Structure 1
Amino acid sequence: MTQFPPLRNDLLLRAARGEKTERAPVWIMRQAGRYLPEFRALRAEHAFFEICQTPELATEITLQPIRRYSGLIDASIIFSDILVIPQALGMEVLMNPGPSFPDPLSTPADVDKLRQNVDVDKELGYVFKAITQTRIALKGEVPLIGFCGAPWTLFAYMIEGGGSKTFTKAKTWLFKYPEESKALLLRIADVCVDFLVGQVKAGAQLLQVFDSWAGELSPHDFALFSLPTLNHISKGVHEKLRQQNIPLVPMTLFAKGANHALGDLAKDAGYDVLGLDWCIEPSAAREIVKGKVALQGNMDPNVLYGGREAIETTVKRMCEGFRQGNNGEVGAWIANLGHGITPGVDPEDVKWFLECVHKYSAGH
């Protein structure tokens, strides 16, 4: 195992483990991204997946927000993409500018075109190299998060051929070919397990699973198709790490739009942290999970366009909401947005958001 510099800021990891912290740790989904001029400058010279597949470039981009917001931001997240798993399964994915699959899966027979056995070290070793290099380059300033997409979200991309407003093709599979759909979802989940374990071995200190399209499923269909695969991932990662005598790391699940499932997810899904979108009040989420897990979130990303007063007011309200039901103390909560930051945000307004979290999550 690589020897890494000692961690100087463990706020995120303590909160993820459910410990009380002096203030809420804060990071931002998609924090290494298009809103940063330094990202756009590098992106102008390199294709998107070229950056993902070149560890030196992925490391540089991961470090950009850490440099810019040093002392204000409490975590880095490796620059990569959830769609590297469909690529590892043998599918072609283009980014122009959004993701597109030239040859999506049309019927269950098309599953035969996928790679039968995925060697994650061979297919996704570039992510592992980027994680190790980034962990060294961080010099212990903040922890490094690894991640993957959830099986239902990846399944939807692989069948729709890109993003969708209606998810008609992916849902046709669920309703017309339920058993074949479950088999493919489980197959994707197995690759997710190996990919996440590889990220921990490479140096990731926390893992996040993004189920970006969870809210597109009814509660019944989420429980039938998505939830079993999310459980499979948490259980599989824990088992494989134990088998290899590798210390467990905290795991976060962000099932966007599936607030109806928070109680079940907190009870027995096997995750330490549940991410919240902005469509639920923090105090309500606190009541539902009853302290069984830490929470992460949940400001609407578009508030960042509303000016400093709107940002400060919303952060203050968010912090108060997460404190409710917790004796007024900062409990197990990680401050974040309710989804990824969008490209048009002013980096100075991001700085203000981070400063407001520091101010109000400490109870001042």
Structure 2
Amino acid sequence: MSHRGIRLARFMHENIDDIFYCWIRRRGGEDFAEEFVIDKASRYWLFNYREKQYTVFTKAAYIKPKEVVTVSLRSKDTFPYGVFDLTVKLPPWTKGPTLWFGFEIEDLFGGGVIHYRFVPGTPGSLAACAGAFPKPVCVELPGFPLDYAEKRHVYSIHVYRSMAVWLIDGKIRGIILYPEHNIGEHIVTNKLPYALALAPVKPSTHLSILLDIDGYPEGEYVWEDLHPWNLRVLPGDPEPKIALKFCKHGSDETLAGSTVEGEIISHPVPAYDLKNKTVFFKASTSGVLRIEVYTLSGTWEEYDTIQVSENRLLKEKIDHEALLARIIYKPSKTPAHINIAEYLAT
């Protein structure tokens, strides 16, 4: 099994057709609607190594021709617990085909998908998708930059044993858990700072790279600025190591550093399949800190209630298995200043 990864040097030393499988779906004839056709990646992903300026190349384009329904590139290598980084502009199309990029083993989700879905529009939307047959969950990501077509942004995916994390420009914007469960597709939130969902079916965590342009066969569509320099994919670590500052629910603003006039609720943090989970909290005023956990029934239930001492660091473990956790602080008097509100889990 090759673990050489996908990076610029490999493209420079090998032929792209040795790195990616390629097939297209095109319109059919009188007795069939569409057909799969074996093809070559080098016909659709066109690039050179001449720079207009640093890392901006004179040719860098991924093309879906007219009359072609889908152009699909799948890496020949698969990646255990993959780390995917793509630095790129997304197309400015007001309408047009969907882009799928990240990890997927094969067409229509069978075996597993953990990827992005970009849908053109004014503006377009970006979602995180994870799952397998019959259908993955897709949850729109908050914090998608409005200048996605004018400026390069970094779109990353980190695949772990029981969850995957989507990042934009290094900020977590989506987390999808994938336990074996019986409740189907389930979105907890798509608000800032990051979306949270449960995949309806657990995907494989050993997947190939996906780069698809899908739909709108009536026209040619070109994804500009896509170059091998932009793409880095390597095997990762099955075990997540999480260190998060709690944020206010629905906000990028952290609890630490904020002054509160009453009860305040944090955004949820992942707890599933993490054996060591610790909440750290410190505030200028005594009060009560409530830890809640999320259930498969879609409710938040009290896990523990702890007395907070003035200006003293509280260290509280979450010993039991749970899907998600959050904290709620109610000061004994106001205003109260929160100095520390953090979550560490492995």
* TM-score of the superposed pair, with normalisation by structure 2: 0.28
The structure that is helix-richer by fraction is 1
**Structure number with bigger Rg:** 2
Higher relative contact order (CA 8 A, sep 6+): 1
The structure that is strand-richer by fraction is 2
